[in-house]
Amino acid sequence: MLALLTGQALAQTSNINEQPSISLPWVLEQTLLHNAQLKTYPYELRANEAATIQAGITPNPKFSMSVENVLGTGNMQGVENAEVTLALSQLIELGDKRQRRVDFAQAQQQQQMRRYEQQRLAIMSDATERYYQVLRLQALQAWGEKRLALESKALNTIELRAKAGAVPQADVSKLALRLHQTKAAQQQLNGEAQVAKYRLAAMWSSEPTFNHVSGELSQLQQLPTLASVLNAVESAPQYLALLSVERLMYAKRRMEESKAQYDITLGMGVKGVDGFDDGALMFNFSMPIPLSNPNQGNILAAKAKEDMALEQQRLARGQIKLTLMAIHQAMLNNAKQAQRLKQQLVPMAQRLLNDSQLAYQAGQINVLQLVDAQSQLVSVERELIEANTLAYMQLLELERITGQSMTATHISTSVALENQ
């Protein structure tokens, strides 16, 4: 999502079967085109459009025929004195009922579109998160290879010293065991990376036909200000969804109020008497007697739901604001930690390892101290990967909640961290 919103061009073609490496824009494109959940939306849209058409249909005229004074007794025997009435009547809706039905159907359609936008944003966020998880595991795989190289080099060094009788064989065995443990952990990482690729490819209903994903979870160079995040509360999909619910309840109330207005029926026909020897026109008018509001309960129920929707908007706005503040602060904390790790702790750990290797070769420290220096470096590098990953995930969460790119109004990371 970040890559799309910043306008980066697609790095690969859209051919799913030929992708040794994929980028985030390509992932989002394929998710939009082939995600199983998003494919059902056109059908729901057509159903809502049909409901709007149905709401706008006016009542059809009615044709009626009645026959009186037939098959009786006395003078009414047979059909000679039959009275036949042919009439055509039309129900006339008052209170603007037809327009209120259309407004309600359109409000339902808008609510459905809002739900789709929420679903689409959630799916795109999920795809981006899974992409970041693959990037994280790729970074951990590279980190594991570096760890293997360090431990292999240390094992070679200690084996040479053991052959010269400078160190006991137990030290060699200890480093060899450590190396095998690292290899097992690396194999576990490889398996997790393959699972993450399957989960990512599932977003566009496919198998993973790619080898790796492009990019890296480097330190974020720009972070949004708290003010820019809070300004986006009004455009948060959750808040907009509640606005659509309020509009739907408003349309529902107006439709129920329109039903309280009585309708009238006008009719006109022809009446034949004395076996159709004589005939005359007839007119008909009917309307209910409005002694009470026949829809009062439904109106009160619709008004209560409208008030509830307004209250939910107020509560949601405050909750969204608090959530965004917490996520923004956590993002800054992780970005600050990543900056500290990269600029201070990683160089210090690397220097410690270099000094320890020289001291070990000179016989000034034992193997346990050398192993500890290696552990310090790989531990700090692992912390850096995790801190960067968390910062990316929290920035993504801000975008998911607000429905906006958090790259439009930025401040540099260094300024952001200095202000904390």
Measure the CA–CA gap between 380 and 384, rounded to whole angstroms: 6
Q: What per-residue confidence (pLDDT) applies to 407?
A: 56
Burial degree of 19 (CB within 10 A; 0-12, 13-18, 19+): buried
283: part of which helix (H) or strand (E)?
strand 278-286
Beta strand extents in 41-82 (DSSP E only): 62-68
Q: Are 249 and 98 in contact (CB under 8 A)?
A: no
Measure the CA–CA gap between 410 and 114, rounded to whole angstroms: 28
Tokens of 329: 């602060």
* DSSP-derived secondary structure letter, 270: E
pTM recorded for the entire structure: 0.77
3-state secondary structure of 216: coil
Task: Give the HSE-up count for residue 260: Cα atoms under 13 Å, Cβ half-sphere.
Answer: 14
Measure the CA–CA gap between 104 and 59, rounded to whole angstroms: 18
Q: How many CB atoms lie within 10 A of CB 205?
A: 14
Q: Are 384 and 338 in contact (CB under 8 A)?
A: yes
pLDDT tens across the length of the chain (420 residues): 444 433 343 333 344 455 688 999 999 999 999 998 888 888 888 888 888 888 888 889 999 988 887 777 767 666 677 788 889 999 888 888 889 889 989 888 888 888 888 888 899 999 999 999 999 999 999 999 988 988 888 888 888 878 877 778 888 888 899 899 999 999 999 999 999 999 999 999 989 989 889 988 887 778 888 898 888 888 888 888 888 888 889 898 888 888 888 888 999 988 876 655 677 888 888 888 877 888 888 889 989 988 998 888 888 888 999 999 999 999 999 999 999 999 999 999 999 989 988 888 787 887 778 888 888 999 999 999 999 999 999 999 999 998 887 754 333 333 334 343
> Helical H runs in 202-276?
226-231, 237-259
279: part of which helix (H) or strand (E)?
strand 278-286
